[in-house]
Structure 1
Amino acid sequence: MFKPSLLPLAITAVLAASALHAEDADKKPTQLEAVTVTGSNIKTTDTEGPSPVQVISADQIKVSGKTTLPDVLRSISANTGNSVNEQLTGSFSAGTAGISLRGLGQKNTLVLVDGKRVANYATAYELQDTFVDLNALPLAAVERVEVLKDGASAVYGSDAIAGVVNIILKQNYQGAEAGVSIGGSTEGTGQTSNNFHLLLGHGDVKKDGYNVFFALDGTRGSQLNQDDVSWLRNNDFRDKPGGRLNWVPTNYYNNDPNQGFANAVGPVRRVPYGAITPGKSGDTWAYNPAPYTSLIPGVERYHAVLRATVKLTDTIDAYGEAIYSRSHAAFVFSAPLAIGSGLRAWDNANQKLVNIDTALPAGNPANPYGVPTPVNTNLWDVGQRNKRDRTIFTRFLGGVKGHIGGWDWDVSAEHSESSLKEYVTNFGNRYAFQSLLASGGYDFAANGNPAAATDALRLATTRPAVSRLTAVNATASTQLFDLPAGTVGFAAGYEFRNESINSRTSEAVLSGSELRPAIDIIRGSRDVHAGYAEFNVPILSTLEVGIAGRLDHYSDFGNAFAPKFSLRYQPLDWLLLRGSYSRGFRAPSLPEITHSTAVSYSTVVDPYDPITPGQRRGYTDVFAANPKLRPERSENYNAGFVISPGVDTSVGIDYYHIVQHGIIGPDDDATLVLRKDPRVQRDAQGRITIITNQYKNQQSLTTDGVDIDFHQALHTSRYGDFILNGNLTRLLKYSQPLVAGDAPINGAGTNIFGSLPKWRGTTGLTWSLGDFASTLTWYYVGGYKQNPENRLSAAYPESVKNWSTFDLSVAYTGIAHTTLTLAIQNLQNRRPPWDPSHTYYDITQADPRGRYAYVGVNYTF
C-alpha cells in the first residue's frame, strides 16, 4: 500500500543513487539543437523550461505494454478525475475516451496533434462538454507526447485552462516495421483483443530533400457485459457495506411492486422487495440487469497517417499530413423498454415532452381488474435495446515552414472532421404501442406475443452528428537583440478557425414515434480570430523572464484576453527554480451557447417521494442553451523546482493553484429537489418526473495540488541498466459551491464533484540486460470519501478504498530484426474497490477486466 509518508524516503533514495555514478571528466558536452517545446513558440535548448512538461516517448510507450493511446495518456498522474473512457456506454458520447488534467474536465484540457488543433468529437459529453476523442488518434505513428501541466491560454487560447496534451507524430521516419499482438482476459470473461501496426518511411529530409511516412494501426476488442464477470454477474451485493440487491422491480399493477402479475413474464424472479429498497416488505417480481449492461463495448478501430515533407530550398520545407480513423463500438444499451408512468415522446412542434398514457384499458388481456389500471412492466418480447456507433475522424493539414533572415516561420491550413452515426435497435414505437394497448393486440402479462405485434413495436433509428474545424495558423520567431545576460527571444502568431457542430436526432424522435427519447440536438458555428505574442528576456545569465499575451475574438460572444508571466532561475547547474502566473479563459461550448436542446435521464435521492422516500428516483432532465453566456475565466499559479545532480538523476516538485470564475453549468438537481424548486415537476402521485434547467455562469472553483516527478538511471556492466521513472500528484483542494451563492465545499478526496482521489501515481522500473528488457509499472489511485448525499443508511461506508495495480512487460530482442513481447496488465488480478454509489465500482477510476495478458511480435525490415 502506498504511504505518502514514504515519499521523502523515495526522493532521497533517487538522489543518493546518483552518487554511484562516476563522472567522465574527459567527456565533451553535446551541442544541443534548439527546439520548440509545448507551451511556447520560442525555440530553446533548455530541457526544462519555466512550465512543467511531462514527455512520454515512443520507447516508453512500447515498454509500458499499453496498446491504445487513451490507455497511455489516462494513466498519467495529472489525470486526476472527471474523465471517462468507453466504459461509459449510457452516454451521447459512448465509445470515446478523454483526458481531464487537474480534474477540471475534458473540456478544460486542450489536445493537439503536432502543435495544432483537431476537431472535437461530434457530440458533447454530459450534454455540454466538447472534447477531442483520444480513440480517434493513432498510437503507432506517435514519436512522443508532451503534457504541459499549467494553463497555456496565452499561446493556445480556449480549452487550455488545465493544461495541454500535444501528440507529436514521427516527422522524418525511415525504414519499415510491422507488428501484431493478441490479448485476452485470464479470468474467464471471454474478452479478447487483437492489434496490429505497420510503419513505412522513406527519405531523409536533410540528406535526400524529402521524406514520406505512412502508418497504419488497428485494434479489435470483444464486448464485455456485466454477466461475463463472475463477481458482478448476480448483482447481489448484500454482503458489502451499504450494498443491496441491484435488481429492478417490474411486472406489477397500480404502481405497487407488491401487486405483481400472476405469472412470471420475462427473465424475472420473485425476490424480497426490502432487499432492493430497504424498508419495504413483501415480495416483488424483479430482473437482474447484468445481462443488459455492457461494461466495455466491442470495438473495431483503424488509424492511418500519411505525411510528406519536401525541401523546396535550403531554408524552406513544404509539408502535408492526412489522418484518417474509423471506429465501431457496439454494446447493449439497456433492458427491453420499461413501460410505466413517466413514459414520454417528443413534441417537436412545441419543443417539449408529452406524456404517454400507459394505463391498461378495461378489458385488456393483461388487466385483471374491471377499470383502467396503471401497469409497470417491460416489452420483454421486443428484446434488449442495442446501440452501435460508427465514428469517422479526418484531419488534412498542409503548410510551409522555413528560416529566412533570422526568422523561423510556419504557415499552415487544415480541415478536420469527426462524424458519427449511431444506430439503435429494439427501441419502442409510440404509435404501435398506443394502438396495441387500445386493441389488446399485445399481452403485457404474457410471454410469446404474436410476431406481427412484436415487430410493430420494434423501432430502429439512426442519429447523425458531425463536428468540423477549419483553421489557418501562422507563427514566426526570432532573436531580437542582445542584452548583457543574453539574447531576447520573440515569437508571434495569428490563428483563424471556424468551429461547427451539427448534432441531430433521428426522424423517429422528431415525428414523435420514439418512446422515451434521449435528445442532444446541437447546431451552431462560430469564427475565431486570434493574435498572440511572447518574449523571453534574460535578466541574468541564470534568470529568464517570459511574457506572453493572446487576444481572441469570438463571433458569438466577443473578446477574451489571456496574459502569462513566467520565471526560470537556475542558480546552479543542478538546481532549477521556476514559476508562472497566467490568466485564461474557456469559451462557452457550442452546446452551451448556440441553438441546442437536450433531454436525458438521471436519478436523484428524493426525500419527499411518497412511495420510496430517501431512495433514488429516476427522472427526465431537460436542458436549454443560453446565448447570453460569458466565457469562464481562470487564474493559474505555478511554482516549483527541479534538482538534477547528473544526467541520470532528476527530481521535480511543482505546485499548482487554479481559480475558475463564472463556471458554466446547470444548477445541481439534488439541491433543487431538496429546496422544492418549481423547476422540479411531479406527477399526480407526487413523484419526480422532469427537472428543467438552463446553462448559466455560476459559481467559482478553486483547485490546487502538487506534482512530483522523479527519474533515476543506473548503468552497470554486470547487471544491466535500470531506469526508474515516477509521477505522483497530490490533490490538496477542489472547492466550489453546489449552487451559486452557497458556501464552497472542498471535494478533494471525495466523490462530491466526481471521484477526486487525493493521491494518484504511476511509477515504472525498467531493467535491460542483454537481449531482455522488462518494465514493472505500479499504478496507484487513492481512496476517497463518499458524498453524504450517497449515504442512504448507517451501513453505507464512509469511504472507498485505494486501488493499487501492477503491469509487467518483458521484451526479447535476441532474434534478428525481431522483438517478442509479453505484457500482463493488473498482474495481481485486483478487483476495483467497492463503491456502492455505483454498480460496485467507479468507472472513472478503475475497470473490471482483471488480469489481462498480451503477446506480440514486432519485425523491422
Structure 2
Amino acid sequence: MFKPGLLPLAIAAALAIPTLHAEDATDGNKPTQLEAVTVTGSNIKTTDIEGPSPVQVITADQIKVSGKTTLPDFLRAISANTGNSVNEQLTGSFSAGTAGMSLRGLGQKNTLILVDGKRVANYATAYELQDTFVDLNSLPLAAVERIEVLKDGASAVYGSDAIAGVVNIILKQNYQGAEAGASFGGSTEGTGQTQNDFHLLLGKGDVKKDGYNVFFALDGTRSNQLNASDVSWLRNEDFRNKPGGQLNWVPTNYYNNDPTQGFANAVGPVQKVPYGAITPGKTGEVWAYNPAQYDSVIPGVERYHAVLRATVKLTDNIEGYGEAIYSRSHASFIFGPPLAIGSGLRAWDNTDQRLVNINTTLPVGNPANPYDVPTPVNTNLWDVGQRNKRDRTIFTRFLLGVKGHTGAWDWDASAQHSESSLKEYVTDFGNRYAFQSLLASGGYNFASNDNPASAVDALRLSTIRPAVSRLTTIDATASTQLFDLPAGAVGFATGYQFRHEAMNSRTSQAVLSGSELRPAIDIIQGSRDVNAAYAEFNIPVLSTLEANVAGRLDHYSDFGNAFAPKFSLRYQPLDWLLLRGSYSRGFRAPSLPEITNSTAVSYSTVVDPYDPVTPGQRRGYTDVFTANPHLRPERSTNYNAGFVVSPTSSTSFGLDYYHIVQNGIIGPDNDAALVQRKDPRVQRDAQGRIITIYNQYQNQQSLTTDGVDIDFHQALHTQGWGDFSLDSSITRLLKFSQPLVAGDAPVNGAGTNIFGSLPKWRGTTGLTWGIGDVSSTLTWYYVGGYKQNPENLLTPAYPTWVKNWSTFDLSVAYTGFAKTTITLAVQNLQNKRPPWDPSTPYFDITQADPRGRFVTLGFNYKF
C-alpha cells in the first residue's frame, strides 16, 4: 500500500478544504490509498500529487466558492494569466464576444486549451488577424469537475501551442444525482447591467457498480449590454482633470480638412467645444460629438452550453465512451458611431485585391457645399444611425472512444470532430454606390438633420460575415511499466495523433462587390493535416529521484516537421521537501491565417510625430496584412526549476522559476516604429497624413521572458470556531524582452505597456472559513501597476506610471435548508474603479473591467 508523506497530504488537504466537511479526526492517522491517475503534462499514471512540473489544480468547489459565474471570469483571474489576454470587453475586433487565456503574457495563441486532455476547435476566426485560440466562452462551466493548469511548456506531449502552458478542463466523468440552480446579479452603480444564470445536472449509473453512466449538463447566461454612457465616470468622456487626460470627443462636420471650418449649424448629436481641449495646442472652436453613446464596453450576451456524456463498461477491462458538447452564443453591441465621411474613405477592389479611395469632395452646387469650388468634407452619416453588430457563435464537439487495460497496458483510442462557426450580422453600415450617387446628385444633404427617408434607406447597408473553424482528430495512447529498477518500475507511454485543421473565414458579399464603405476584412481559407507520434519514459533513478524523458515528432502538411523534447527531474529527499526542474523545446506552428491564403484589413491608431495637422497626436489609419506561405514554426526553449516545502500536512509553500526563450516569432513589424523611422511601407496622402501601413507576416523576432510563481497554503481546523484555509498564488514577472522591429536591440517590457500591459506583480489570495451551515470566501485580486510606453510619453503631461488594481470578492454560502444551498456573492466589494491609463480610453481592458460592485444571489437544489 502506498503511504503518502506530508507533502502529498498537504496538497490533498488544499484541494479538499473548499468543501469544509472534513473526515472525522480519528481517521487522520490511517494510511491513505491513492489511486494512480494521469496528470496534465504526462501520459504516465502516477500517485504523485506534485510532479516534476508545476500544475495548479482548481476544483469545482473552488469555482463555486469564488462567486464567479462564468468559466473565463474564473480562469482569467489566476496569477499566471499575466497579460495580453482579452475578454468580451474587446468589441472592436473580429473575435468580439470571446475570451481567452494568456499564460506568461505570451498571448492566447501560446496557451493550449484542452477538454478532457484533448484538443477542441479554435474560434471561427482570428484575434488580431493572426492568432487562433479556443474561446473559453464556448465551454461549459456546470459540467466541470476540475481544471488543471500546467504552467510550463508541454509540446513534447501535446504538440503546438503549449509554449506558455496548458489549461486542461476536465468534465464530470461519473456523476450521479440531479441538481438545479439559478443566480441573479446586478451592478449596484446604477448602470442597469444585470446577469442571470442557470444550470441543470442529471446523472445516472455508476460505471464500476452498474456498468454504465449517463450524464447531462445544461447551463445558460444572459447579461445585458453595458455602454460607456451607462457608466458615470465614462459617460462624459472628459478626462481633463486627470494627468495626460483630455476631452475625448471627436471633431466632425467641417470643410477643407480643417476642424475649425465647421458647418453653419449643428448636425447630429454635436456641440461646439474648444479645439484645444481635444488636441492640445490648437485654437478655435469645433463641432464634436461624445463617443460614449456609441461605445459598448461589454456586449449583451445570451449563451447556452449542453453536455451529454455516456460511459459503458464493455468488459471487465474495457469501457466505451461518447460525448457531445453544444454551445450557442449571441453577443450584441454597438460597433461604432454613424460612418465617418472624409479623406481615407475606401472600399475593397476584389479583382485587384486592394483598397480603392472613395472621393468625398462635395461638388459645386451640392446642398452641403457653401463654396463655389469643390470642397472636401468631414462628417458622419448621422441620419443612418449608429453601426451595430450581433455575433452568433455555435460550438460543437462529438467524441467517441474506447479505453481499457490489456495485460500490462493501459490504452485509450478516440476520434472526434469539433467545430466553431460564426455568423456576424451588421446593420447601418454605408453603401458605397448609393453614397457616390447621392453625393453627385445632391440627394443627401450632409449639412442637414432632415434627409429623405428614401436616401437614408439607400445608404443603409446590412451584411452577414460567415466563418468556420473545424478540427478532426484521431488519438491513441498506451502506457505501461516496462521493467523494474532497484528504485522502482520504469513507466512508459506512447501515442499517435492525426489532426485535420481547417478555417474558412469569409467576408460579406457587400465587401467583395465593393459596396461596403470602410470595410474591415479578415479572409482566411486553408487547411492542413498533422501526423504526430510521441513517447515518454519515467525512470526512478533513486527512491527519492525520478527522471522523465519525453519527445514528440509532428509532421505538418504545409511546412514540414517539428520535434519537441522534454527532460524533467523530481527529487524528494525528505517527505516534506520536493525539488523539481525541467528543460524542454517547444514550438508553435504558423496559424492558418499566417501561412495560408489570407488577407486582412483593419483600422488602428498611432502617434505620428510627422503629422502636418496634429503632430504628436494619435492618427487613425488602415492596416493591410498578408500571409506568408514560407513561414517556419516559432521555436521555444523552456527552463523551469522550483521547490515545494510542506512542514505539516496543513501547510505548503512552493516557488517555481520559469525562463522561456522564443525564436522566429511570427508577426508584422511594429507600426509605431515604422512611423518613427519613416519606413516606405507607411503611405501618406497628399497632405502628408498617414493613410495606410502595409505589412506581411515574417519569422523575425525573438522574445525572452522569465518570472517566479509563489504558492502558499495553510489550513487551520479549530474546535468551535470552524475551519479556515488561506491560499495564495502570486506571479512575479522579471523580464519580457523583445525587439520592436526585427534586427533592433531587445526592449524589456516587464512592468510596462510596451507589449501590452504586463504588470510585474499579479496575485490571487483567498481566505475561506466554514462553520456549521455557513461557509465564506474572501478573495483578494491584485494586479500591479506598470510604466507607460515611452511612445505614449510623447504626448504632454502623460503620467509615467499606471497605478495598481486591487479588488476584493466575497461569497457566503448557507446550507441550512435541506438539499439547498443559498449563495450571496459580491465582486469588487470596494466598488473600485480601474486605474487611469491615458493610453487607452480610460483603463486597460486586459487587466480590469468597468462594472464596479456586482452582487449575485444564487440558489442550488439537489434532488
- Scaled by the length of structure 1, the TM-score of the pair is 0.97
Structure 1 SS opposite 2:243? coil
Residue in structure 2 matched with residue 353 of structure 1 by the alignment: 355
1:441 aligns with 2:434: no
Q: CA deviation at 1:644?
A: 1.1
Q: CA deviation at 1:592?
A: 0.2
1:361-510 to 2 correspondences below 5 Å = 361-510=363-512
Q: CA deviation at 1:27?
A: 1.3
Q: CA deviation at 1:448?
A: 1.5
Structure 2 SS opposite 1:686? coil
1:254-269 to 2 correspondences below 5 Å = 254-269=256-271
Q: CA deviation at 1:648?
A: 1.9
1:287 aligns with 2:289: yes
1:649-728 to 2 correspondences below 5 Å = 649-728=651-730
Residue in structure 2 matched with residue 734 of structure 1 by the alignment: 736
Residue in structure 2 matched with residue 10 of structure 1 by the alignment: none
Q: CA deviation at 1:676?
A: 1.1
Q: CA deviation at 1:506?
A: 0.1
Q: CA deviation at 1:712?
A: 1.0
Q: CA deviation at 1:24?
A: 7.4
CA distance in 2, matches of 1:834, 1:726: 27
CA distance in 2, matches of 1:284, 1:481: 82
Could you tell me which of 825, 831, 834 is aligned with 1:832? 834
User: Structure 2 counterpart of 1:155, which letter?
Assistant: V
1:783 aligns with 2:785: yes
Q: CA deviation at 1:236?
A: 0.2
Could you tell me which of 170, 173, 176 is aligned with 2:175? 173
Residue in structure 2 matched with residue 11 of structure 1 by the alignment: none
CA distance in 1, matches of 2:648, 2:125: 48
Residue in structure 2 matched with residue 545 of structure 1 by the alignment: 547
Structure 1 SS opposite 2:701? coil
Residue in structure 2 matched with residue 580 of structure 1 by the alignment: 582
CA contact (8 A) 2:252 2:287 kept: yes
User: Structure 1 counterpart of 2:434, which letter?
Assistant: A
User: Structure 2 counterpart of 1:393, which letter?
Assistant: F
- The answer for unaligned runs of 5 or more in structure 1 is 1-13, 15-21
Deviating beyond 6 angstroms after TM superposition, the runs of 4 or more aligned structure 1 residues are 22-26
CA distance in 2, matches of 1:213, 1:726: 34
Q: CA deviation at 1:23?
A: 9.9
- Decide which moves more: 675-684 or 355-364: 675-684
User: Structure 1 counterpart of 2:382, which letter?
Assistant: W
Residue in structure 1 matched with residue 59 of structure 2 by the alignment: 57
- Decide which moves more: 98-107 or 784-793: 784-793
Q: CA deviation at 1:26?
A: 7.7
Q: CA deviation at 1:28?
A: 1.8
CA distance in 2, matches of 1:792, 1:770: 59
Q: Deviations over 1:241-263 (max 9, x none)?
A: 00000000000000000000000
User: Structure 1 counterpart of 2:171, which letter?
Assistant: L
Q: Deviations over 1:304-348 (max 9, x none)?
A: 000000000000000000000000000000000000000000000
Could you tell me which of 143, 146, 149 is aligned with 2:148? 146
CA distance in 2, matches of 1:747, 1:625: 27
Q: Deviations over 1:391-429 (max 9, x none)?
A: 000000000000011100000000000000000000000
Q: CA deviation at 1:649?
A: 1.3
Residue in structure 1 matched with residue 324 of structure 2 by the alignment: 322
Residue in structure 1 matched with residue 184 of structure 2 by the alignment: 182
User: Structure 2 counterpart of 1:314, which letter?
Assistant: D
- Scaled by the length of structure 2, the TM-score of the pair is 0.97
1:630 aligns with 2:632: yes
Residue in structure 2 matched with residue 117 of structure 1 by the alignment: 119
CA distance in 2, matches of 1:753, 1:166: 27
Q: CA deviation at 1:452?
A: 0.2
Residue in structure 2 matched with residue 600 of structure 1 by the alignment: 602
CA contact (8 A) 2:36 2:46 kept: yes
Residue in structure 2 matched with residue 156 of structure 1 by the alignment: 158
Could you tell me which of 39, 42, 45 is aligned with 1:40? 42
Structure 1 SS opposite 2:132? coil
Residue in structure 1 matched with residue 10 of structure 2 by the alignment: none
Residue in structure 2 matched with residue 108 of structure 1 by the alignment: 110
Residue in structure 2 matched with residue 253 of structure 1 by the alignment: 255
CA distance in 2, matches of 1:506, 1:278: 40
CA distance in 2, matches of 1:842, 1:572: 45
CA distance in 1, matches of 2:39, 2:561: 27
Q: CA deviation at 1:794?
A: 4.0
Residue in structure 2 matched with residue 88 of structure 1 by the alignment: 90
CA contact (8 A) 2:307 2:324 kept: yes
Q: CA deviation at 1:792?
A: 3.2
CA contact (8 A) 2:271 2:289 kept: yes
Q: Deviations over 1:621-667 (max 9, x none)?
A: 00000000000000000000001123221111000000000000001
Residue in structure 2 matched with residue 556 of structure 1 by the alignment: 558
Q: Deviations over 1:128-161 (max 9, x none)?
A: 0000000000000000000000000000000000
Q: CA deviation at 1:793?
A: 3.5
CA contact (8 A) 2:497 2:531 kept: yes
Could you tell me which of 181, 196, 199 is aligned with 1:197? 199
CA contact (8 A) 2:138 2:395 kept: yes
CA distance in 1, matches of 2:590, 2:333: 32
CA distance in 1, matches of 2:43, 2:175: 24
Q: Deviations over 1:518-560 (max 9, x none)?
A: 0000000000000000000001000000000000000000000
CA distance in 2, matches of 1:688, 1:551: 46
Structure 2 SS opposite 1:72? helix
Q: CA deviation at 1:802?
A: 0.1
User: Structure 1 counterpart of 2:487, which letter?
Assistant: A
Could you tell me which of 271, 276, 279 is aligned with 2:273? 271
CA distance in 2, matches of 1:755, 1:44: 39
User: Structure 2 counterpart of 1:835, which letter?
Assistant: D
CA contact (8 A) 2:616 2:795 kept: no
RMSD: 1.2
CA contact (8 A) 2:617 2:795 kept: no
- The answer for unaligned runs of 5 or more in structure 2 is 1-13, 15-23
User: Structure 1 counterpart of 2:611, which letter?
Assistant: D
Aligned sequence identity (%): 84
Residue in structure 2 matched with residue 19 of structure 1 by the alignment: none
CA distance in 2, matches of 1:157, 1:25: 43
Q: Deviations over 1:724-768 (max 9, x none)?
A: 111100000000000011000000000000000000000001100
CA distance in 2, matches of 1:252, 1:508: 29
CA distance in 2, matches of 1:325, 1:712: 38
CA contact (8 A) 2:244 2:797 kept: yes
CA distance in 2, matches of 1:23, 1:390: 53
Structure 2 SS opposite 1:381? coil
User: Structure 2 counterpart of 1:831, which letter?
Assistant: R
CA distance in 1, matches of 2:559, 2:419: 24
User: Structure 2 counterpart of 1:37, which letter?
Assistant: V
CA distance in 2, matches of 1:128, 1:631: 14
User: Structure 2 counterpart of 1:28, which letter?
Assistant: K
CA contact (8 A) 2:581 2:641 kept: yes
CA distance in 2, matches of 1:24, 1:538: 34
CA distance in 2, matches of 1:372, 1:708: 67
Q: CA deviation at 1:25?
A: 10
1:837-852 to 2 correspondences below 5 Å = 837-852=839-854
CA distance in 2, matches of 1:644, 1:126: 44
Structure 1 SS opposite 2:316? coil
Residue in structure 1 matched with residue 804 of structure 2 by the alignment: 802
CA distance in 2, matches of 1:257, 1:625: 38
User: Structure 2 counterpart of 1:759, which letter?
Assistant: W
Residue in structure 1 matched with residue 4 of structure 2 by the alignment: none
Residue in structure 2 matched with residue 18 of structure 1 by the alignment: none
Number of aligned positions between the proteins: 843
Q: CA deviation at 1:373?
A: 0.2
